[in-house]
Structure 1
């Protein structure tokens, strides 16, 4: 992963440095003041920002997940990639715009965002000078709606490439003009005004990709034939990566103490912790990270797999053991996506064993389809395929790999662990017979026939 980050940095350097040398907006050195600081932001931000953002997005989705509409998500993910991409850009930019506007108008949030605005010489690398708190806050408001609506993985990949390219380009020190396209997509001509160190301009041009957002909300500023002379903010921010990480917290604490200073002779009352926004944000992030990492460790999952599963889980239809017992979903067939050794140790009724590794390799689709057909009956609905693993994550990953195969799929919440808490192996036949694709209890207890 580190090698990929370094390769990406080299590619960006090769692309943007010649562009800025050939068509500079301002004459400045390539290795300008604090260039190494911003290079450090690039290398560390890739890890710190993304881990923190993933945790916060997971927590935000956890709060909103109960309201997710699975039918809407399936409809969104079934649309052509081009349509999904355009919709994702618009929706994400609405979220980004308002997150960015809050960063400029809420005093304690501005302390973190001011780090980005402290840049006094604009170039492509200026894009990455973003405090982790700033990055997390913005990404949550920008990306959660996309996850909640169920956009496909391919759409997220395209959007990630597009948004990164735009971010580096709009900060570049280049005089290249985009003509009328500057009203359609963000350009240096548009974004440099946002960084201008002059009154009344800093709160303009807040969108990431679409100037239309600023036009609609009254913050567009792009005078023809002009460009900023100075960049930065009216006061100084300490130089150096670590000082810039710490400074916003110090400023927030100082501001808080001044605001709540006691002027009377009475001793100051200790303020409740819940009134301290930075502490609350830090505590939630730490607890969320510990929870995700702890769950991954206990269940022997990699952090990468857990991050993927946590997010993908909110786009995955699920059924609980209780709902199956109550017959709310029938007919059904069960597919076990664990390893063969785990299946041999214990499995649910006559469930078919199709390990996740086979599904990811594309080898298990026909096996699952044939299995479902075995339990189909004339003039009756096709059975719903219930995927399960030990506790949930692998079945969610299996669903994400199978959802475009035309199969009727759901995931068993909590996996076989949840099932066994309610149904001992001796009762599998009794519970499954009324809802299985075949009413024959012989099938329910004899997987060897398959």
Structure 2
């Protein structure tokens, strides 16, 4: 039964929930309906984390539950509010559009996912290289457990920058509002899966999709160790840039997560909004992400990258 749940849960989320989102958005359903689907996805995520947990301790609050809910409410609201910008951009762009309206709706959504995945990944990588971006992104890396709500545990300014990076090319192309609505809902579902504490399985797709098994490596606490597996939806760009890492034998606990350089990083919501703009918000000078660094690090630790 547990194996059935381990394989069935990601299938339900990736195909069932996302398929429902695409069908509803393509039929012109109200945005409140899509919000309802996302709420169902959150309920499924919490249920799976308790039935097939990866680390049972991560199902208990680390005095972070209320803070994480605040991050989710603010950042999800920002994501929904960004949909209102699309008609304004269309008006500024004027007549004409490069968007492939002739494609089936599902194919248009898939195109949006792939383009957004590249843009968000680039911003994400830059956030590990440039100090001023890292100050904002460090909020997300302060977590000491991985569970569904971690995905939207971000500084709202960084959330905005990632959204711009992913959506701006799509707006230039003339992405329709229904496609953007589907994309926004699917981002929320993906973040639930990517940070989930559920011990689920996806087989060989683990090397293609940016899910929790690989994303735990991104949250390693040692400086530089987490400069891997940046993708939101896929790991395609990580393969290309040489930042893909996955070792199925590696197990993580809270002792492996967070930021070793900032063990006393603020945990309250208000404090996390302010700390990037204080002297305590920096973590030293950031550097480039050379292709060989991650592989060499794993080899020196006696682990094998797959």
TM-score normalized by the length of structure 2: 0.71
Larger Rg belongs to:
1
Q: Does 1:186 align with 2:210?
A: yes
**Deviation digits for residues 334-365 of structure 1 (CA, Å, limit 9, x no counterpart):** xxxxxxxxxxxxxxxxxxxxxxxxxxxxxxxx
1:197 to 216, 221, 227: 221
Q: CA deviation at 1:241?
A: 0.7
Q: How does 1:90-109 map to 2 (within 5 A)?
A: 90-109=114-133
Q: Which residue of 2 aligns with 1:242?
A: 270
Tell me the residue number matched to 1:14: 43
- In 1, Cα distance between the equivalents of 2:267 and 2:197? 21
Check the 8 A contact 1:39/1:125 in 2, yes or no: yes
Instruction: After superposition, give the CA deviation of every residue in 1:233-285 in whole Å (9 maximum; x if it has no partner).
Output: 11131121101111111248x86xx99xxxxxxxxxxxxxxxxxxxxxxxxxx
Equivalent residues in 2 for 1:407-418 (5 A)?
Answer: none
Provide Cα deviations, 1:393-425, integer angstroms capped at 9, x if missing partner.
xxxxxxxxxxxxxxxxxxxxxxxxxxxxxxxxx
| C-alpha spacing 1:4/1:241, structure 2 compared with 1 (3 Å) | farther
Looking at structure 1, the residues matched to 196 and 135 of structure 2 have their Cα atoms a distance apart, in angstroms, of 24
Task: Note closer, same or farther for the CA distance 1:71–1:209 as it changes in structure 2 (3 Å cut).
Answer: closer
Larger RCO: 1 or 2 (CA < 8 Å, sep 6+): 2
- Is the 8 Å Cα contact of residues 201 and 221 (structure 1) preserved in structure 2? no
The alpha carbon displacement at 1:35 in A equals 1.0
How many residues of Structure 1 are paired with residues of Structure 2 in the alignment? 249
Inter-partner Cα distance in structure 2 for 1:166 and 1:176: 14
1:72 aligns with 2:98: yes
> Could you tell me whether the CA contact under 8 Å between 1:189 and 1:227 is conserved in 2?
no
CA contact (8 A) 1:195 1:231 kept: yes
Residue matched to 1:233: 259
RMSD: 3.2
Distance of 2:140 and 2:109 partners within structure 1: 28
In the alignment, which of 139, 142, 152 is matched to residue 176 of structure 2? 152
> Structure 1 residue 15: deviation in Å?
1.0
Per the normalisation by structure 1, the TM-score is 0.50
Partner SS, residue 130 of structure 1: coil
Q: CA deviation at 1:151?
A: 2.6
Q: Note the alpha carbon deviations across 1:352-399, whole angstroms, 9 max, x for none.
A: xxxxxxxxxxxxxxxxxxxxxxxxxxxxxxxxxxxxxxxxxxxxxxxx
Q: Distance in 2 between matches of 1:177 and 1:212?
A: 19
Q: 2:233 aligns with which of 209, 214, 221?
A: 209
Is the partner of 1:72 in helix, strand or coil? Answer: coil
2:237 and 2:267 map into 1 onto residues whose CA distance is 33
Residue 44 of structure 1, CA deviation: 2.5
When residues 58 and 190 of structure 1 are mapped into structure 2, their CA distance, relative to the original with a 3 A threshold, is farther
